Structure 1
Amino acid sequence: MLDLLMVAAYLQQGRQQSGAGLVISETPNADLEVDTLTPEQAEAELARLAAQLARANSAYHTNDAPEISDAEYDALKQRNAAIEARYPQLKRSDSPSDVVGAAPAAGFGKIAHSVAMLSLSNAFQDEDVAEFDTSIRKYLGLAPDVPLTYTAEPKIDGLSLSLRYEGGKLVQAATRGDGNIGENVTSNARTIADIPHEISGAPEILEVRGEVYMSHADFEALNMRQADRGGKTFANPRNAAAGSLRQLDAEITRARPLRFFAYAWGSLSEPLSQTQWGAIKALEKFGFSTNPLTQRCDGPDQMIAHYRRIEAQRASLGYDIDGVVYKVDDLALQDRLGFRSTTPRWATAHKFPAELAWTRLEGIDIQVGRTGALSPVARLSPVTVGGVVVSNATLHNEDYIKGLDSKGVEIRGGKDIRVGDLVQVYRAGDVIPKVADVDIAKRPQEAEAFVFPTLCPECGSDAVREPGDAVRRCTGGLICPAQAVEKLKHFVSRGAFDIDGLGAKQVEQFYTDGWIAEPADIFTLQARYGAGVQQLKNREGWGEKSANALFVAIEDKRKIPLARLIFGLGIRHVGEAASNMIALHYGTWDALAQGMLDARSLEGPAYEDLIGIDGMGAVMAGSLIGAFAQEAERASIERLVAELVVQEAQRADTSDSPVAGKTVVFTGTLEKMTRAEAKARAERLGAKVSGSVSAKTDILVAGPGAGSKAKKAVELGVETLDEDGWLALIANT
């Protein structure tokens, strides 16, 4: 049984120093399962994750002093990705999904990677591996029975390194850095025995990529030597390898027992092979160490079987691995699959599972979000799960507490969750654990079934649950302080107005004191309180300098891009990505406002124009229209806009593109590319891709099987191209 006194001591230590034992902050949305997050909660959670992952990346990649464990980092990334997958319209401009590593440290020269060094997407369950295979087949248009070979190799837990050879000679070595620019560690890399200074038979230009690592035995010996001389000891082999390679004195690196596994490449003057497997064998011939556990696999079953074999050997390998990497073997298919913003489509990392732990459920709190959603949060006796001490967990919703899923089917054998229960918590892909199970045999006799509130704990208004909705919501609206405060917090968040000096804490303070009740009040704050500075500087936490800075920051945000204004309004279902999409479509605030008023009937040209935006569904459209249709909300918006100068949305320069600014619709079966490939390329060329044909459609690309859309295009006089015609149109761009 867990010694809670020891946990309490560890918890206190975690508050005082960095390391894997840091307590996860008990922010309301962090407690919630992704599937239960409302769009508003998801937006706030994405903002929190962006900030936390930025700090983690800097600590890990730049300072070699991680503040959280690898397991927690993976969980943060996975939660962020899961939220973005559920609400793609909410993806932030500074999304961690678009970030690789961190900026290079100041002590090193910089090297720009000619081919970006990207990260990998993650798989955590066997089902994720099958989905990886399915997604590739779908993208390539391959049937399930068409053979598709992969390579599977251990994922080394070390430091990524790129080695550039010209004419067979090592000319530079660079760390990953932020994926585009790394640190020049050439002198240090030359001291590693596994890295040849010269190679023969290689292409004129060859960038070899791999992982610098340290074996367990060498790590223990290094720490013993460091301790004997009173030097710095390392927490784990990965930190030791990173710290050793990134020494300003190469002689220190020379004295450290570093190793290198090669597994990939960057720039090439000529191909190494037609397959991943063949390229790895070529690297072996050049004298590089490659992992002997790498194997070819025909499909997900063999991939998972090899994963199990590697997992069974994990403890005896003598070096750290944290999963298995799968890659499409055919390099021509890799080229077709291409890349997302930070990850290749043709590869993924199957991570080893996280931990389970048992602890006591001390209480259940109900938190109210920006849209009035009532979310239950478990308060736990502190317990370490996956290297992180946690004291809260998601309970999803009232059905989950009762032992039911969203369809009313029993889960956990129908066992409900009660305060006082011994519960099992689980971490795999979620920052805050979920309560996975209950030990009924150890349930206290006095434990009572939890009664979910039907009144808002913040304002006392009725909390109702609409048919088909898993969430109960407060009906108080603007009179509910929790909703009002959360809306204001969202308004000043990074993706919205991002006002320096006005964060969540200050918003709560000003709201409580009656200084602000809606966004427009922020811009009239100084005028309403005279000099402003005099009123504010005497308040706790404020001085004359900080007060002046706040009012300057507010004035700076009177001029605001249209997309930021839309996002800042906090309209349900309208996230950051959707706000950019809407801004680009309408261009100006006046056009947007008039369009929403004209679309109130949910029919006619204005409504068709709105739902014709690619990615705009009826639910999002209804929320957007509703914000302008509700008298009180529209009045609040108008008071805000009266204080602002709203900038017109600007598109990227695609002046050399023949389809820039044109609206394109794809229909029928494309034979030379998948629909996803066609859409992605059209958008890169500045086109707007729509899902429906209208009078505003410029081009219809019709493949075999085109039906009603092709007929409507003819009726409207829309230019229609077949697939070859489309490819010819964009051939030189």
Structure 2
Amino acid sequence: MNPIRSIFVHSLTEDQAKVELAALAQELAHHDQLYFQKDAPEISDAEYDALARRNEEIEIRFPHLKRPDSRTHRVGTTPGSRFKKVNHLSPMLSLDNAFHAEDVIDFVTRCKKGLHLSDKDALSFLAEPKIDGLSCSLRYENGSLVQASTRGDGVTGEDITQNVKTIRNIPTQLKGYYPSLIEVRGEIYLEKADFQTLNDQRQEEGDPLFANPRNAAAGSVRQLDVAITASRPLKFFSYGVGRDDLKDILTQNDLLSRLKAWGLPINPLCQLCPTVDDLLNFYQTLSHIRFKIPYEIDGVVYKVNDFAHQKTLGFVSRAPRWAIAHKFAAEKAETLLKKIIIQVGRTGVLTPVAELEPIGVGGVMVSRATLHNQDEIHRKDIREGDRVIIQRAGDVIPQVLQSLGSLGHERGPVFQFPKTCPVCGSHIVKEQDEVALRCSGGLTCHAQLLESLKHFVSKHAFNIEGLAGKRIDYLWEQGLLKSAADIFTLEERDKSSAHPLKTHEGWGELSTRNLFDSIRNRQALSLDRFIYALGIRHIGRVTAHLLAERYGTFDAWWGAMKEACCKDSSAYTQLVAIEGIGEIVATSLTNFVGEPKNDVQVEALIPHLTLRPVRKTTM
């Protein structure tokens, strides 16, 4: 864990704030990509929102440190490469969030102030359920649907026109009188019952299950095979417009009526709210009935109703000033904690995970939940055999909030973390100012090595198509892949194998040939990707680029890092002096380079690679 993360914003020094903003920019970009492009988030919405709030609070306190790559400049993330990129006629912005009633009151106060209204003056809002789906823009020309696209980065999205035309409640031709050009904005979603049916089918067929309806909807829309999208019962709600030639529609409420008249579906639960109390009452009503609503909602959106007022209030860089999303609290349930297991991650962190009696939380069956770390388990006094409260807010793995004890039975013993790694038997260490316990085995620990290999081939590292998680697992289990260098000798070894890869179940000649082609195509790459691929602690994409830009070549960088292992050296002084590096990152680098096993791994890789210098204009 980043030690600075535990420091309150008001206590940060300027240097700490600079390092933290760099880390947050990198983390948020990573999670944006997982959410918007891969439809596979690693963290909950609540955890993401907490990171985003911390980023914004630091920028408010240190406005001169705001980075060009800050999330506050962005709406989503760059569109993926599988679909053609298309430009929106007008930006497709995101929304700022509210989490408490006070946030909503502040929002209304800001709106009135921006409109030069007094607290007593009336200001009407339209409140609508926030659908947990995939945002989509529909372009109609002369009433005909000519283009559909994802949000993307707010300016450019993915062209999903053919897939969207299979969604039954999206009209390909508008009804009545309509403008010659209009962009309709809305949300593609999957109802809870349809989501469960889809997952049941996937389980029968041995396919991986979708984590939640939002991921299922997004994954269904992003299919290269239109027939797959057509087979999924996707639906759409429209809620607004981007570019339009409308002159006679004066309010948000009137717009919804017009959208409905054109044949576009709108959410029937929208409501006009003249006061703050009305907004908060509507929020409470929806929060109480949300589980009865057939689709997932994760909050309520409030919009100033009058379009003239919206125009006066305008926008900030990524969101309108006249709208906000009031998020629901995470979903909770009670169940039995059967067992606590320990997982070992890529950097050696030991993460306790609760195995649970399966229980439905918000339409999803949950059988595992994270316990975070040893301190959390002890602080909450969580034990095997306890009844526990779990919380889910869109999580792939929810979290255990609290223990209710054994409810009448004698409780199990206090959980004790192992003294040695459960995978490799190495000693467990705890670094100063860190909560996490780590396996000291490094790359001798099979769990760390396996996760390091998955990181090595990931999208922002070597990006080797056809060699992701399950295939890495398989090659590992077959003894074909035990180091990163083994990737680049796999084809040669396969030629002399008595059981070539194409004969293995689930592979075949085409997939094997594609894999070998992909590996060959990735043997030349930029130095920053290589540095990032090594999976060194604290070295994200931004830091890897800084290092590659500063040292230019692999030989110069690796040689300087070896010299920097001596903290009295000029090489160490120069390393620490690089803007965005500092002592924490420098120590992590020199620890990695100074480990003989890592040196062997890296030196084994270099003969297979051509490493290009980075272009200084790429970041």
AA of the residue aligned to 2:454: K
Is the Cα contact below 8 Å between 1:420 and 1:443 reproduced in 2? no
The corresponding residue for 1:656 is: none
The worse-fitting range, judged by mean Cα deviation, of 584-593 and 424-433 is 584-593
Is the Cα contact below 8 Å between 2:387 and 2:406 reproduced in 1? no
| Aligned match for 1:565, one of 530, 533, 539 | 530
The corresponding residue for 2:354 is: 378
The corresponding residue for 2:441 is: 476
Displacement, 1:349?
2.7
Displacement, 1:570?
0.7
Displacement, 1:425?
1.5
| Aligned match for 2:374, one of 376, 388, 398 | 398
The worse-fitting range, judged by mean Cα deviation, of 563-572 and 600-609 is 600-609
* CA distance in structure 2 between the partners assigned to 1:150 and 1:614 by the alignment: 49
Displacement, 1:558?
1.7
* CA distance in structure 2 between the partners assigned to 1:165 and 1:512 by the alignment: 52
| Aligned match for 2:365, one of 389, 404, 408 | 389
Q: Is the aligned partner of 1:126 residue 2:100?
A: yes
Q: Secondary structure, in 3 states, of the residue corresponding to 2:271?
A: coil
Is the Cα contact below 8 Å between 2:89 and 2:183 reproduced in 1? no
Superposed CA RMSD in Å reads 5.9
Superposed, 1:278-289 pairs within 5 Å as: 279-280=251-252, 283=255
* CA distance in structure 2 between the partners assigned to 1:604 and 1:447 by the alignment: 54
Taking a change above 3 Å as real, the CA distance of residues 334 and 518 of structure 1, as seen in their structure-2 partners, is farther
Q: Is the aligned partner of 1:518 residue 2:487?
A: no
The corresponding residue for 2:423 is: 458
Displacement, 1:476?
2.2
Displacement, 1:489?
2.6
The corresponding residue for 1:183 is: 161
Is the Cα contact below 8 Å between 2:427 and 2:440 reproduced in 1? yes
Taking a change above 3 Å as real, the CA distance of residues 172 and 452 of structure 1, as seen in their structure-2 partners, is closer
Aligned length: 527
Structure with higher Rg: it is 1
Taking a change above 3 Å as real, the CA distance of residues 522 and 364 of structure 1, as seen in their structure-2 partners, is same
* CA distance in structure 2 between the partners assigned to 1:501 and 1:211 by the alignment: 31
* CA distance in structure 1 between the partners assigned to 2:130 and 2:476 by the alignment: 50
AA of the residue aligned to 1:183: T
* CA distance in structure 2 between the partners assigned to 1:647 and 1:467 by the alignment: 37
Superposed, 1:407-426 pairs within 5 Å as: 411=380, 416-426=381-391
Q: Is the aligned partner of 1:267 residue 2:239?
A: no
Q: Is the aligned partner of 1:579 residue 2:544?
A: yes
| Aligned match for 1:486, one of 436, 443, 451 | 451
* CA distance in structure 1 between the partners assigned to 2:290 and 2:523 by the alignment: 57
* CA distance in structure 2 between the partners assigned to 1:55 and 1:174 by the alignment: 22
* CA distance in structure 1 between the partners assigned to 2:475 and 2:189 by the alignment: 51
Q: Secondary structure, in 3 states, of the residue corresponding to 1:98?
A: coil
Superposed, 1:336-347 pairs within 5 Å as: 336-339=315-318, 347=323
Is the Cα contact below 8 Å between 1:190 and 1:197 reproduced in 2? no
AA of the residue aligned to 1:561: S
The corresponding residue for 1:623 is: 588
Q: Secondary structure, in 3 states, of the residue corresponding to 1:627?
A: helix
* CA distance in structure 2 between the partners assigned to 1:369 and 1:611 by the alignment: 28
Q: Secondary structure, in 3 states, of the residue corresponding to 1:442?
A: coil
Which structure 2 residue ranges, 5 or more long, are not aligned?
A: 7-22, 56-66, 152-156, 195-212, 227-234
Which structure 1 residue ranges, 5 or more long, are not aligned?
A: 1-33, 58-72, 220-235, 249-257, 405-410, 652-660, 662-685, 689-733
TM-score (norm 1): 0.56
AA of the residue aligned to 2:589: L
Is the Cα contact below 8 Å between 2:332 and 2:391 reproduced in 1? yes
Is the Cα contact below 8 Å between 2:37 and 2:79 reproduced in 1? no
Q: Secondary structure, in 3 states, of the residue corresponding to 1:467?
A: coil
AA of the residue aligned to 1:643: H
Q: Is the aligned partner of 1:307 residue 2:286?
A: no
The CA deviation string for residues 522-546 of structure 1, in whole angstroms up to 9 with x for no partner, is: 324455x484444544975466666
Taking a change above 3 Å as real, the CA distance of residues 396 and 77 of structure 1, as seen in their structure-2 partners, is closer
Is the Cα contact below 8 Å between 1:79 and 1:430 reproduced in 2? no
Superposed, 1:619-698 pairs within 5 Å as: 619-651=584-616
AA of the residue aligned to 2:100: D
Is the Cα contact below 8 Å between 2:386 and 2:406 reproduced in 1? no
AA of the residue aligned to 1:337: V
Superposed, 1:156-171 pairs within 5 Å as: 157=131, 170=143
The corresponding residue for 1:448 is: 413
TM-score (norm 2): 0.65
* CA distance in structure 2 between the partners assigned to 1:520 and 1:316 by the alignment: 53
Q: Secondary structure, in 3 states, of the residue corresponding to 1:642?
A: helix
The corresponding residue for 1:113 is: 88
Identity value in percent: 33
Q: Is the aligned partner of 1:435 residue 2:414?
A: no
Displacement, 1:352?
3.5
Taking a change above 3 Å as real, the CA distance of residues 488 and 506 of structure 1, as seen in their structure-2 partners, is same
Displacement, 1:387?
1.0
The corresponding residue for 1:6 is: none
* CA distance in structure 2 between the partners assigned to 1:111 and 1:638 by the alignment: 43
The corresponding residue for 1:155 is: 129
* CA distance in structure 2 between the partners assigned to 1:368 and 1:589 by the alignment: 30
Is the Cα contact below 8 Å between 1:567 and 1:574 reproduced in 2? yes
Q: Secondary structure, in 3 states, of the residue corresponding to 1:592?
A: helix
AA of the residue aligned to 2:332: L
Is the Cα contact below 8 Å between 1:84 and 1:91 reproduced in 2? no
AA of the residue aligned to 1:280: Q
Is the Cα contact below 8 Å between 1:377 and 1:393 reproduced in 2? yes
AA of the residue aligned to 2:438: R
The corresponding residue for 1:197 is: 176
